[in-house]
Amino acid sequence: MKILAARMNHETNTFSPVPTALADFGPDGPTFGAQACAQARGGRTALGAFIAAAEARGEQITVALNATANPSGRVDDAAFERMAGSIVDAASGACDLILLDLHGAMVTQSFDDAEGELLRRLRAVAPRTPIAVALDLHGNITQTMVDCADAMVGFKTYPHIDMFETGAHVARLAFQMMDSHERPALAWVQLPLLSHTLRSATGEGAMQRAVQRARQLEGEGLYGASVFAGFSLADIRDAGVSVVVCGRDQQAAQAGADVLAQQIWVERADFVYRSEQLARSVARAKTLQAASADQRGPVLLLDHGDNVMSGGTCDTTTVLQECLRQGLQRIGAGPLADPQTVAQAIAAGVGGRLRVALGNKMPSGLEVPQQPPLALDVAVRAISDGRFCISGPIYCGETWAMGRSVALEHAAGMLVVTERPMEPLDLGVFTCVGVDPSGFDFLILKSRMYCRPSFVPIARALVECDSRGVTSSDYALFTFTRLRRPVYPLDPDAPFNPG
């Protein structure tokens, strides 16, 4: 059997002013062919699982593409054409099975449904070849995607620590399809529901219960049951929550999807996040720290209004400024992307002292004016190339690159400033610049969820901080023009009748 596999991952925040070019799809851009296969082999991604599963069966597998970029604005058309083109070209040769590791929420300059467009092109060149797809739990699923795929399974964890397991699940379904010569049935139910990313963690609340129900349905014989929280910071028709069920026949798959959708709809209010005022969150962090002086590790302040893994600019200083205003001390923060400040610090050299105009240089992305940079007197403590190998559970073993990076000490703590936006998904974002993140009283991270598996174990407490960034949980800051309406909670009385 000749298997073609590929990974093309991007979660697009259509409000984000951060551009997305081909070079962003990997530490040194995307990789293709044998290089992509070598890079992905042994990794904990869905593509890594495809390769492991194929090789365990002694099948021949070729990898067209390995590409993943941090969430950011719409993907350049040229980047999409190069990446999708590499997969479609490979599929138009002889291949018996196509395995794809996609996100599900990629939007390009020309296509609101980039995964649907890729799958449509693949169906056109390889109409009889089975296509099985692994997706992110935040995928915005569309009719085209469902119509053009034979099997589909999404992650069941957020933070996403089951990418490999999801890939293995998809490979298992695909091999079952090949061995039995039977195509499974897919059922998709889209809810009129825009969830908040902070309410899509699978360890609590309605999302946890939905995923438990999905697992139960799989235990009862359905091939795959996936709950997609969707990615709501995308002004496209199909943003939001849906479920996809893969089963032996259409009736069983549809019944499972209806049950799952009904349960989610009943609990829809639990998918809405209500923000606390920033000043109150910072004051709470201060109290938590003071009340636990006998404990070690920082209080984490998660700046989810500028969350890199949702398309944040990674350059806003709102939370740091509020901490300084309230007199917090021993504050660690980072990464903050500001190439100008990095260049100045490198020119000053280690030990150099300078006044920097920090952050707030990208357009805000919102219909509110950007605030001015933060003036800060700093001393340069370290300079690094910003590359680190991930040791935490998400993307374990991969090398990520923040661009040139510096550690800057100021009167109230230490900052890691980088050339490129970077989610603090691993302690390596600090340690590669010689900073120990566990040594602070407070640690500001531009993250919602990805930081948690690595940073919660070294922290004494966690406080969510909503700043006025392009990944804010306050939907009133955004103007949706393409989203299907009515949709809850923007339209509180949106109707839904599954089944």
Write the Ramachandran bin of 92: left for phi over 0, alpha for psi from -120 to 50, otherwise beta.
alpha
Between 338 and 398, whose beta carbon lies closer to Zn ion?
Answer: 398
Instruction: Look at the chain and count its residues.
Output: 499
Between 303 and 419, whose beta carbon lies closer to Zn ion?
Answer: 303
CB of 160 to Zn ion, least distance (A): 6
**Is residue 374 helix, strand or coil?**
strand
Between 202 and 341, whose beta carbon lies closer to Zn ion?
Answer: 202
CB of 40 to Zn ion, least distance (A): 19
CB of 140 to Zn ion, least distance (A): 11
Between 141 and 383, whose beta carbon lies closer to Zn ion?
Answer: 141
Using CA atoms, how far apart are residues 234 and 340, in angstroms rounded to an integer? Answer: 29
**Is residue 223 helix, strand or coil?**
coil
Burial label for 255, CB within 10 Å (0-12, 13-18, 19+), is middle
Between 359 and 421, whose beta carbon lies closer to Zn ion?
Answer: 421
Between 105 and 301, whose beta carbon lies closer to Zn ion?
Answer: 105
CB of 130 to Zn ion, least distance (A): 25
Q: Using omega within 30 degrees of 0 as the cis cutoff, is the peptide bond preceding 492 cis?
A: no
**Is residue 382 helix, strand or coil?**
strand
Between 123 and 138, whose beta carbon lies closer to Zn ion?
Answer: 138
* Strand arrangement, sheet containing 242-247: 185-190, 242-247, 224-228
CB of 68 to Zn ion, least distance (A): 12
Q: What's the Cα-to-Cα distance from 59 to each of 180, 199, 299, rounded to whole Å? A: 17, 40, 49
CB of 206 to Zn ion, least distance (A): 17
Q: Would you say 138 and 229 are in contact if contact means Cβ atoms under 8 Å apart?
A: yes
* Among candidate residues 225, 230, 216, the one with its CA nearest the CA of residue 254: 225
Quick one: tokens of 358? 């920090």
Q: Would you say 179 and 61 are in contact if contact means Cβ atoms under 8 Å apart?
A: no
Q: Would you say 51 and 37 are in contact if contact means Cβ atoms under 8 Å apart?
A: yes
Between 138 and 286, whose beta carbon lies closer to Zn ion?
Answer: 138
CB of 136 to Zn ion, least distance (A): 4
Q: Would you say 171 and 99 are in contact if contact means Cβ atoms under 8 Å apart?
A: yes
CB of 391 to Zn ion, least distance (A): 21
How many Å from the N-terminal Cα to the C-terminal Cα in the chain? 39
- Residue identified by tokens 């806003």 is 316
CB of 229 to Zn ion, least distance (A): 8
Q: State the residue number with the nearest CB to Zn ion.
A: 138
* Among candidate residues 71, 90, 58, 86, the one with its CA nearest the CA of residue 12: 71
Using CA atoms, how far apart are residues 175 and 118, in angstroms rounded to an integer? Answer: 22
CB of 450 to Zn ion, least distance (A): 9
- In the complex, the residues that contact Zn ion under the rule CB under 5 A are 136, 138
User: Using CA atoms in the order 246, 202, 200, 256, what is the torsion angle rounded to 10 degrees?
Assistant: 30
| 86-89, Cβ contacts within 8 angstroms, sequence gap of 24 or more | 86/6, 86/32, 87/4, 87/6, 87/8, 87/118, 87/122, 88/118, 88/121, 88/122, 88/125, 89/64
Report the chain's C-alpha Rg in angstroms. Answer: 22
CB of 302 to Zn ion, least distance (A): 16
* Among candidate residues 251, 202, 243, 247, the one with its CA nearest the CA of residue 224: 247
DSSP 194: -
